[in-house]
Amino acid sequence: MTVTPGWYMTLAAVLFAIGLLGILVRRNALIMFMCVELMLNAVNLTFVAAGRALGLIDGQVSVFFVLVVAAAEVVIGLAIIVAVFRQRSSASVDELSGLSG
């Protein structure tokens, strides 16, 4: 049995779903953030698989850009989480409920 690009896309879809589910059920900002990273990597896998299947370099090129932006977002996200942690000594998003209505 050969592994076709379709398999990779299915795997990517599963990873994406796991990430999305994680965001919905977990309440720790750090874990939620890791789930987003999982979703972004699912995107990368789709881009690579599609690029390979179509014989186009654009898919691989897109992945580089997504990787770089994801890295930049990690920096921003960790900085924000640290700022929250200094105020609250907790990274749970449920405790952040000062703003509502």
Partner 1 sequence: MSWEIDYLALLPEIVVAVTILAVLSLDLFLPRRLKYWTATVAVLGVTLAAIPLIVIWAGDARASMFDGSFVVDDFALVLKGLFLVAGYITLLMSVSYVESDRYYQGEYYLLLLCSILGSMVMASSRDLIVLFIGLELTTGPLFMLAGWRKGDIRSNEASLKYFILGVLSTAILLWGMSMLFGVTGAVQFGEISVAVDTIMAGDPDMQPLLGLAIMFMLVGFGFKVSAVPFHFWAPDTYEGAPTPVTAYLSVSSKAAGFVALFTVVYLAVPGAVTFWGPALWALAALSMTVANLAALRQSNVVRLLAYSSIAQAGFMLVPFAGAAVSGRDKLGEGLQATVIYLMIYALMNLGAFAAVIVAARRTGTAELAGWAGLGRRDPRLAVLMAIFFFSLAGIPPLAGWFAKFVMFQSVISSGGLAGGVLAVIAAINAVIAFYYYARIAKTIWFESPPEGAETFEDAPAGSLVWVLGVAAVVTILVGVLPDISGFFGRATQVLVEAAGG
Binding site for partner 1 (CB under 8 A): 9, 12, 16, 19, 23, 29, 32-33, 36, 39-40, 42-43, 46-47, 49-51, 53-54, 56, 58-59, 61-62, 65-66, 69, 72-73, 76-77, 79-81, 83-84, 86-88, 93, 96-101
Which residue in 83, 85, 66 sits closest to 28, CA to CA? 85
Q: Which is nearer to partner 1, 11 or 62 (by Cβ)?
A: 62
Which residue in 57, 73, 53 sits closest to 12, CA to CA? 53
- As measured in angstroms, the least distance from the Cβ of 29 to partner 1 is 6
Q: Count H helices, E strands: the chain?
A: 3, 0
The total of other beta-carbon atoms located within 10 Å of residue 23's CB is 15
What does the alpha-carbon distance between residue 15 and residue 43 come to, in Å, rounded to a whole number?
9
Q: Which is nearer to partner 1, 2 or 101 (by Cβ)?
A: 101
- As measured in angstroms, the least distance from the Cβ of 2 to partner 1 is 19
